[in-house]
């Protein structure tokens, strides 16, 4: 039996480990979403930013709940971890995130 109790559509983590995992998932999801937005609006490849935004949605628990509700499956933790490593690798290598952040701060500041 799962240690997550359901209160409507958003599950509430009941254990300390689940709370930590959910918090890390939220933090990484927000960071990847922000990086995707930077890639959408600054730089030369908005489709890459949309791709990163789409991948970041996996890390938001409400989105995972909706996917589970409508499609009947969830992404296991180890697969989420590998996806997170892939996102970091792609953002830092292919996406040149730091140079786009420099462009953004130059244009906005």
**3-state SS assignment for residue 16:** helix
Q: What is the mean pLDDT of residues 50-79?
A: 92
For residues 29 and 9, the answer to whether their CB atoms sit within 8 Å is: no
- pLDDT(72) > 70: yes
What pLDDT, on the 0 to 100 scale, is given for residue 7?
46
Give the integer Cα–Cα distance in Å for 86 and 104.
Answer: 24
pLDDT of 85-102, one tens digit each? 999 999 888 767 777 778
- pLDDT(56) > 70: yes
pLDDT of 43-52, one tens digit each? 778 899 999 9
Nearest to 60 by CA among 29, 21, 24, 20: 29
Give the integer Cα–Cα distance in Å for 23 and 34.
Answer: 17
End-to-end CA gap in the chain: 53
What pLDDT, on the 0 to 100 scale, is given for residue 43?
72
What integer best gives the mean pLDDT of the chain? 84
- pLDDT(12) > 90: no
5, β-bridge pairs: 12
């Amino acid at each position: 039996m799962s240690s997550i109790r359901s209160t409507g559509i958003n599950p509430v983590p009941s254990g300390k480990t689940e709370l930590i995992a959910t918090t890390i998932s939220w933090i990484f999801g927000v960071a990847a979403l922000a990086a995707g937005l930077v890639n959408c609006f600054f730089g030369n490849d908005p489709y890459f930013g949309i791709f990163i935004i789409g991948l970041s949605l996996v890390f938001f628990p409400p989105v995972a709940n909706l996917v589970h509700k409508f499609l009947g499956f969830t992404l296991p933790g180890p697969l989420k971890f590998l996806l997170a490593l892939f996102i970091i690798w792609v953002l830092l290598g292919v996406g040149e995130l730091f140079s786009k952040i420099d462009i953004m701060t130059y244009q906005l500041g």
